[in-house]
Structure 1
Amino acid sequence: MKRLQIKTAQNVNINFTLANVGQRLFALGVDNVIKFAYLYFAMEFLDFRMFQTALEGDSWSLRAIDVLIFLPVTFYSLYSEILLNGQTVGKKLLHLKVINIDGFKPSTTDFIIRWFLRVVDFNLFTLLFVYVASLGLDDEIALLMLLFFFGKMIGFLLILFTDNQQRFGDIIANTVVIYLKDNVQFSETILENISNAYVPTYPNVIKLSDNDVRIIKNTFNSAKKYNDFKTLIKLRSKVLEVTGIKSIHKTDKEFIDVVLKDYNFYTQSM
């Protein structure tokens, strides 16, 4: 699997595993099953024939009903990714997630761009396909099949051959799809081993973010490994400045170790 390495402003490298084309196709398949299931139940259990009879001759109202039925399907990926923090149901089951290429959560605008440009990724020649079909040419079948197949393959080919495995919508929105279920070591995460009886010392650690704690832990581990006491002093000072904590620990190592454990205690308890 390909990996994406992001260097933070604090010069800490964070590695993400990029989702491959097979995983993304599988997730797309799951999402399509959900869409078809919705359409089936909508048609099966809602009596649209009653509407058709009542609105017979009113073609505009009938088209409006059709549009309303298909709205949840049309906007499925957009509202799913916004509400589920970069995931659809298919992506969630496959442990995939959309993130900004700089490692942050995409904005709503980014999600809208990704959704809108599915037209290019999966339906590039739809209008041309319809136009050719309307010509009624004798040998149009082969051309129609070629247009349909190639138009649907644009996103697939881009994911396959771009460096960061991005479809056109990802490239323009500056996003990537990552695989969350990665084989990382426990020491590489922000998690700490704390017992059920653990008593926290510094409630103000909740002012830190997950990314802050990840950077603190990586820097802390590196400084301990090389006995870099200057870095430990700077790290302690920065934590005190950001959180407003009044330290009761004499050594920098003890203080930072407790901060990491306290953060885990409070965030896992919420």
Structure 2
Amino acid sequence: MVELQINTTQNVNITFIAASVGERILAYVIDLIIKVAYIVVAFQIVFNVMEWDQAIDKMDGWSQTAIYILLLLPVILYSLVFESLLDGQTIGKRIMKIKVVKIDGYQAGIGDHVVRWFFRIVDLNLLGPLFGPVVALIAIVSSKMSQRLGDMTAGTSVITLKNKVNISHTILEELDDTYKPTYPNVIKLSDNDARIIKETYVKAKASRDYETLIKLRKKIVEVVEIKDFNSSDIEFIDTILKDYNYYTQGM
């Protein structure tokens, strides 16, 4: 079991458990089965059901290549699309309860997923479909943070969610029945963002670290895209946390 000690930009230490090699392999195999199943079905439809085989045979080489690439596009973009849409998870990763996160504690963005996807050429496909994952396995085993080359370049890692403490316990705020939220845009935050904000807020408030509170408030305003607020830094952050709980408690 590899623990990832992540120091956020707010100087808060967060501990994650890195996904094991076995979990990542099983997730890869599940995704591979899905891709192979798609290829079989897609080519059966094109060549047997639609009977386009003769028409394709009459085309020039460039046209044939274009058609094959078009058919394989869902397979080529599989990991990029799913990790972008499912917050760092493909179907295989979701089944295995692992996900991609930034090593600074924030949610991985589309740019990070693009970098990881591009480096699959080296990590997983350089030696072909059978021996391709060997490069990734060597990188994961030898890396202190269990990262393949794509993770190292993108600044990400893959963590397990199986032993994770319910995050609502760390970001829960008491709200009375008459509470009225102020900032609906807080839904732009993830649970992990809210946890980092609360941990930083509690620590800075207790130590009277007003400089950190100012930096935290500025970061929240930037991420949540808040234009106007008329309150102190402490009141503002406290309201943000309560609003986040208000809008997400029913999810």
TM norm structure 1:
0.70
User: Residue 19 of structure 1 contacts residue 177 of structure 1 at CA under 8 Å; is this kept in 2?
Assistant: yes
1:125-144 → structure 2 map (5 Å cutoff): 125-126=127-128
Q: Distance in 2 between matches of 1:154 and 1:160?
A: 10
State the Cα RMSD in Å: 3.8
- Separation of aligned partners in 2, 1:70 and 1:117: 18
The TM-score, its normalising length taken from structure 2, stands at 0.74
Aligned partner of 1:33 in structure 2 is 33
Partner residue, 2:55: 54
**Which shows bigger deviation, 33-42 or 103-112?**
103-112
The answer for the alignment partner of 1:203 in structure 2 is 182
Q: Aligned residue for 1:136?
A: none
Q: Distance in 2 between matches of 1:80 and 1:187?
A: 25
| Cα distance in 2 between the residues matched to 1:169 and 1:15 | 21
User: CA 1:156–1:235 in structure 2 vs 1: closer, same or farther (change >3 Å)?
Assistant: closer
The runs of 5 or more residues in structure 1 that have no matched partner are: 130-147
Query: Whose Rg is larger?
Result: 1
Map 1:149-228 onto structure 2 (within 5 A): 149=131, 151-184=132-165, 189-192=170-173, 198-204=177-183, 207=186, 209-210=189-190, 213-218=194-199, 228=206
How many aligned residue pairs are there?
237
C-alpha spacing 1:215/1:167, structure 2 compared with 1 (3 Å): closer
The letter for the 2-side match of 1:66 is: Y
Partner residue, 1:75:
77
- Confirm or deny: 8 A CA contact 1:3 1:16 kept in the other structure: yes
Aligned to 1:135: none
CA distance in 1, matches of 2:44, 2:208: 70
What whole-Å deviation, never above 9, does each CA across 1:100-153 have from its counterpart, x for those lacking one? 221223343332221122222223345xx9xxxxxxxxxxxxxxxxxx64x541
The separation in 1 between residues aligned to 2:98 and 2:90, in whole angstroms, is: 9
**CA shift at 1:220, angstroms?**
6.2
The whole-number CA distance in structure 2 between the counterparts of 1:215 and 1:108 is: 21
Q: Give the percent of matched residue pairs that are identical in Structure 1 and Structure 2.
A: 42
User: 2:167·2:195 contact (CA, 8 Å) conserved in 1?
Assistant: no
Gaps of 5+ in 2: 222-227
Runs of 4+ in 1 over 6 A off after TM superposition: 254-259
Q: Give the Cα–Cα distance (whole angstroms) in 1 for the partners of residues 19 and 156 of structure 2.
A: 12
